[in-house]
Structure formats: structure tokens, C-alpha cells
């Protein structure tokens, strides 16, 4: 680690103790920026790095609610408003028992660079709660969402802060959150994205993150004169991002052979075709069941439960060409990365945020495979959220084809911008450096223009 990176990291760790994911996210960006800072000392003088690391505002609040047994439950709510240099704060809400301030700071920080890459005017933020929607009734989820919004509403607005979904926050939760926001504000505005299609949502928003990750893989492959046609793909997760990743891979002629949840993964060597995917969507989005049930329905598949004694995830040991990690952060460790390479994987496009640990990233880069980091590869979701905001402002709805073609253009542009930035700053083919540098430059220049605020 250079003196520059180690001095920044020492400062970040001292100031933000016990936030390892936030440290990890910051370190990756700072390492990418060494040459940028050397060529542009004005950013150092203006202390842009120190300012970009510090959230503009953090809101933390109590969320009391009553469960179906009449018992009072207390959760904690957060919103990290990280950076508004290029637009209103924008980023999802995560409901998961593992959520801490540190998790949301890492996600909000990543979001700043990702949103900058989309070319749309969006700042970065992220929020959520340690509430676990799993096993809760619809009424309990509604009461929780209403209690959460009773505090958060005063911090939101179409020109201030516009949340969306993330892990544990899908269409059902956005509906309850938006309903309460509207009631408290007494106005119908586009202060959320991922809304239902009848009340201000955009076509293709549910599909956008998964589709975008597949488009990004297709762009990387096109650079080598290849396509996804006939490629075997590993997908982790079975939620929103994973489902639409499988859908788009199928459309482009590839074959997905795995899906997972936090209990284990299924392997279907014949591929998860349209019919099987429709069944998975019903299982996960309506019945809210476990992926293990797949093997009871589709006989040729096998199920492997997560084994906490192992130091690697068996999902990543299957032979394939491409991998789309679409579950959660740090789901690919160094050993998993090694297994992926051993199994023939030479394209990794991250639907999840920061799913690969630094050692794994290093292995991918050293091996020279096509590696699209989440910041770039999963930006399709927030890009279509940006398009939803535009449609709300214009009071118009674009067609499916129009939104999808704009999404494809945005992903193509992100791919190009990352490639160009990596070349310009001495690391051709390194999309990690490319994404960090290109995302940073736009926000840094806006911060320089706007003075010390």
C-alpha cells in the first residue's frame, strides 16, 4: 500500500471504527485514484477525497411498531445522505437483520460513483433498517413500513432525496412506504422509484438491474468479438436482480445453471428456462418460499445447503463461462475466485454491490478475465430509476421498448467511459480503476465548482 493510500485509510479507520465494509469500499476507490491525484493536485488541495468520504448527513431513528401478537417491536432506521454534488440523493433502502450504519455507508459511498457513471443527475445515498421482512405477515410489513416512514418522510422529496428498493425491499414494501409518504406529505410526488406501474412507476424498472448486468457482460464480450450465445452462466441469489439476470441471459441465448438463497444453492445442468424461471418468480415473490423447493419441482436439479464449516461457497465450483453474483456483499472470497477461474469462468459481471472481496478482485484482475465491478455492472437499476424520475417530472410514461433501449445505451456508455478512463490512467482493461476514476472525476469537478459546502 502506498503512503498516500495508507495515510487516507488510517484516517478513515480512526474516524469510522468497526465499519469494515465501509473501509473496504473506500480503500478500493482510493487505490484507483492514486494517479488521478498525482496528475490533479488541485483535488488534494481542496481535500476532495476527505470530503467525498464523509457523508453530508446521516439520519438514524427509532422505528417502533406492533406485531400480529400485539407485542411492541423496536427496530432502527437509517438514511445516509452521502453526496449531492450532481443531483438529489438517490439510492435504495435495505431491510435485513445484518444492516448497520457501516453497511449503509459502504452502499451509499458506492452509490455516489455508480450514479455519476449513469450520466444522469443523481447524487448518492442509501438507507434501511435491521428489520427482517422474512416470516412477517403482509400486515406486519405494512405497519413496519408506515412506522419507518413516520420519521423518514420529512427528509425526502423529488428534489432532495429519492429512495428505491434493495435487499428486502421490493414492490410490496415500496407500495407501503410510498402510501405513507403520500399521506403524511399530502401530495403525490415522485419521491420514490420502483413504484407500481399504475402509480408513477416505470416499465423495465424491476428488470433493470439484472438486465443491465447482462448487458454489461455482453459489452465486455463484444470487445473480444464474442456474445452470450451458448454461454453457461452461474447466478447467485434468487431475488429481484438474480431473476431478471436469468431472464436476460435466456433471451440472449445463454444458459443459467444455478440460483441460491442464504440457505443454499440449486444446480440445474439443463438450464433454468423460461418456464422454470416463472416458477421461481412465483416461489420467491408470491409464496416467499426457499430455493430448495426447486429440486422437488424440477427433478434434474440438485440442492446443496450452505455448509458453515467450509471456507468456500460450492456454488462457485461449477464449470461455466460467466458468473453473475447477485445476492450480497463479499459473497465471493479469494478461494471462490480461484474456484471460478479453475472452473473456466472468464466473465464476471456483478449484479450485487461489492460481492467480491479484495483478494478475489485481485485474482480476477491478475488472471486478465473480463471483470465488471458492481459500480458499473449493476448501474442499470439506478439508471432506470433516473428515467422514472424524468417520466414523473414530465408526467409521461415511456414504452417498454423506449426504456429498454435507453437502458442499453446507458450501459454501453458506462462501459465505454470505464474503458477510456482505465486507458487514460494507465490500466487498460481494468474496469475497477475505470469505474472508480470516471465516477470520481464528475463528482469531484462538481464539488470544486460549488466551493466548500
State the residues that interact with ligand NDP by CB under 6 A.
165-168, 170, 209, 237-242, 261-263, 326-328, 351-353, 378, 381
Question: Could you tell me the smallest distance in angstroms from the CB atom of residue 206 to ligand NDP?
Answer: 8
Q: What is the spatial distance between Cα 388 and Cα 190, in angstroms, rounded to a whole number? A: 8
Determine the residue with CB nearest ligand NDP: 239
Residues annotated as catalytic (active site), given as ranges: 126
Q: Give least dist CB 244 to ligand NDP, A.
A: 9
Residue 138: CB minimum distance to ligand NDP, A:
16
Give the Cα separation of 214 and 220 in Å (integer).
10
Beta bridge partners of 95: 129
∠ CA 411-220-113 to the nearest 5 degrees? 45
Q: How far is the CB of 422 from ligand NDP (least distance, A)?
A: 22
CB of 51 to ligand NDP, least distance (A): 25
Give the list of residues 6+ apart from residue 260 with CB closer than 8 angstroms, or none. 236, 237, 238, 242, 266, 291, 315, 327
**232 and 320 in contact (C-beta within 8 Å)?**
yes
What cell does 70 get? 400485539
Q: How far apart are CA 36 and CA 29, in angstroms?
A: 11
| C-alpha to C-alpha distance for 257 and 271, rounded to whole angstroms | 5
Closest approach of Cβ 280 to ligand NDP, in Å?
A: 10
CA atoms within 13 A on the CB side of 222: 11
Cβ-based neighbours of 192, under 8 Å, separated by 6 or more: 156, 162, 163, 164, 174, 177, 178, 181
CB atoms within 10 A of CB 234: 26
Cell (9 digits) for 197: 406501474
* DSSP codes, 268-317: -TT---HHHHHHHHIIIIIS---GGGHHHHSTT-EEEE--TTSSS-GGGG
Q: Compare residues 129 and 378 and give the one whose CB is closer to ligand NDP.
A: 378
Grid coordinates given for 111? 452509490
Question: What backbone torsions phi and psi does residue 93 show, to the nearest 5 degrees?
Answer: -115, 135
Displacement of CA 197 from its chain's centroid (Å): 22
Select 55 or 91, whichever has its Cβ closest to ligand NDP. Answer: 91
Amino acid at each position: 500500500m502506498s503512503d498516500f493510500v495508507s495515510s487516507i485509510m488510517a484516517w478513515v479507520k480512526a474516524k469510522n471504527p468497526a465499519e469494515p465494509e465501509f473501509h473496504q469500499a473506500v480503500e478500493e476507490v482510493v487505490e484507483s485514484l492514486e494517479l488521478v491525484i498525482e496528475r490533479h493536485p488541485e483535488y488534494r488541495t481542496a481535500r476532495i477525497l476527505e470530503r467525498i468520504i464523509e457523508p453530508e448527513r446521516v439520519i438514524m431513528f427509532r422505528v417502533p411498531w406492533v406485531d400480529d401478537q400485539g407485542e411492541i417491536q423496536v427496530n432502527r432506521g437509517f438514511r445516509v445522505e452521502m453526496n449531492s454534488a450532481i443531483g438529489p440523493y438517490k439510492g435504495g433502502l435495505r431491510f435485513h437483520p445484518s444492516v448497520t450504519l457501516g453497511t449503509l455507508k459502504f452502499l451509499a459511498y458506492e452509490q455516489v460513483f455508480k450514479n455519476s457513471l449513469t450520466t444522469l443527475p443523481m447524487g448518492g445515498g442509501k438507507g434501511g433498517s435491521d428489520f427482517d421482512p422474512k416470516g412477517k405477515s403482509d400486515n406486519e410489513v405494512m405497519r413496519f413500513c408506515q412506522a419507518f416512514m413516520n420519521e423518514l418522510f420529512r427528509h425526502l422529496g423529488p428534489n432532495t432525496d429519492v429512495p428505491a428498493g434493495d435487499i428486502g425491499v421490493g414492490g410490496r414494501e415500496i407500495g407501503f412506504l410510498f402510501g405513507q409518504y403520500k399521506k403524511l406529505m399530502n401530495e403525490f410526488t415522485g419521491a420514490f422509484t420502483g413504484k407500481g406501474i399504475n402509480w408513477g412507476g416505470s416499465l423495465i424498472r424491476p428488470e433493470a438491474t439484472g438486465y443491465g448486468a447482462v448487458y454489461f457482460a455482453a459489452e465486455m464480450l463484444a470487445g473480444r468479438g464474442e456474445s452470450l450465445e451458448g454461454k453457461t452462466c452461474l447466478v447467485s441469489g434468487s431475488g429481484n436482480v438474480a431473476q431478471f439476470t436469468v431472464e436476460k441471459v435466456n433471451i440472449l441465448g445463454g444458459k443459467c445453471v444455478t440460483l441460491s438463497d442464504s440457505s443454499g444453492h440449486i444446480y440445474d445442468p439443463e438450464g433454468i428456462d423460461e418456464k422454470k424461471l416463472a416458477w421461481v418468480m412465483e416461489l420467491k415473490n408470491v409464496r416467499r418460499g426457499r430455493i430448495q423447493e426447486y429440486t422437488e419441482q424440477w427433478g434434474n436439479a440438485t440442492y446443496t445447503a450452505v455448509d458453515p464449516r467450509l471456507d468456500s461457497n460450492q456454488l462457485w465450483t461449477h464449470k461455466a463461462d460467466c458468473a453473475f453474483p447477485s445476492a450480497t456483499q463479499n459473497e465471493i472470497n479469494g478461494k471462490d475466485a480461484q474456484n471460478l477461474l479453475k472452473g473456466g469462468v472468464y466473465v464476471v459481471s456483478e449484479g450485487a454491490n461489492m460481492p467480491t472481496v479484495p483478494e478475489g478482485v485481485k485474482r480476477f484482475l491478475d488472471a486478465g478475465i473480463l471483470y465488471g465491478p458492481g459500480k458499473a455492472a449493476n448501474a442499470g437499476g439506478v439508471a432506470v430509476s433516473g428515467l422514472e424520475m424524468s417520466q414523473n417530472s414530465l408526467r409521461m410514461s415511456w414504452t417498454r421498448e423506449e426504456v429498454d433501449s435507453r437502458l442499453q445505451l446507458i450501459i454501453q456508455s458506462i462501459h465505454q467511459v470505464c474503458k477510456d478512463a482505465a486507458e487514460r490512467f494507465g490500466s487498460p482493461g481494468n474496469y475497477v480503476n475505470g469505474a472508480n476514476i470516471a465516477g470520481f472525476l464528475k463528482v469531484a469537478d462538481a464539488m470544486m465548482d460549488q466551493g466548500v459546502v
